Structure 1
């Protein structure tokens, strides 16, 4: 006997219902561990839950995408089984998280065959995270070559300074790349550590070892400049322009390919410069004059 849903509604309406249930309103989802106190039966329950995430990456843990509609009947299952991974971008907060997902065979098979869009947050030039990052990127490459993956996005992990309130992740990465002392307790990377990361990124655009042809690649990073006042921007630029941040951004885009977005602005596309967020001419004229006078005196 067919479900009343099938008897009463045409396929077009059913598809809209399926998408309403299975597609995140933001287009982004994350996998989080499902809390369960039903010991010792917790291992028999669903280990992960699928939750929407906001555009800024905030995870809505109180909202869950319920997959029970897939259990109604065989026809509804076959009509809706591909929607979850076709219309949602899977956000992975850390490369190491992918390992915990892949231990579940059914989930691993679904992701490798059906997932079409993935976003990975990562830390660049952190030696202890290299192995997990490498494994995650190689997994995505395999999904693009043997599965359905068509969109891939890398996002720099933000490092907000509690004192200033500004994101300092870009200058931290730039400092590592230029051999400056590293902030915090993170062990400083060697030159070979940095080169390993850059070689890994370059492999993503390799015809032989990289993503399949046609995969749309994007990288997002935040310089923290957009949150600063004009005077703070001037001070930042005077401090960091000698280390050529625009060259570093260009290196990243040449390595990965696709699009490089900085502070929400498309700056490079396939090696072509579109916008320069480090351009001093965008500062108020009186600050430009101060910068010019200081440079002349120096």
Structure 2
């Protein structure tokens, strides 16, 4: 049935149908806000289980109506570029960078990659000291005091970047480590937000995207501690990346600035 629907209607008409189904009757602006969270909202989201293409197209509608952007051009590139200009001296001392994302699926990885391109020069000998970049997705809710404080800091002090809350965590005792956290808008309480995250998860293979990240930074790329790429070659057959609770570690190839051909 989904194939007949996709063949029968062009994308513009499909988008109108998705918007009609996903818009709550209580929404004053006919926008897909998913708020207030009601049984009607939950039922409408079952549309995302139809097939991969409809799930992807519906996700784009939801993101567009909530100001989230998935692909270039993105504000995150501008944000990182501005950091390089405003706080370049401090950034050049950073050896380790950690970025927490809502998911490590294809959509969020494409988004953060667009920003990471602005930081490549920090891996060049003579321009920076960056030795590793770690991308994390944390599936569980905050459990410790520090985790709750970080969540509160993100909610109170974070800026909206491409529709996501984004903030550098308060300075810690390790001056050579910089931690960023990002979050989708909180459409509902934690339990329903977790369910929504599962519904919107892009299950497309990320190997090609991981290879692109590796091509940009060189060196090594590890998935949950296991080596996937090294010096341009794929070492493992599959990435086995858990997009809900995984870790990607980029260990750049630190070479002199003039040695980069791109």
What's the TM-score, normalizing by structure 2?
0.30
What's the TM-score, normalizing by structure 1?
0.27
Tell me: higher relative CO, structure 1 or 2? Use CA pairs within 8 A at least 6 residues apart: 2
Q: Which has the larger radius of gyration?
A: 1
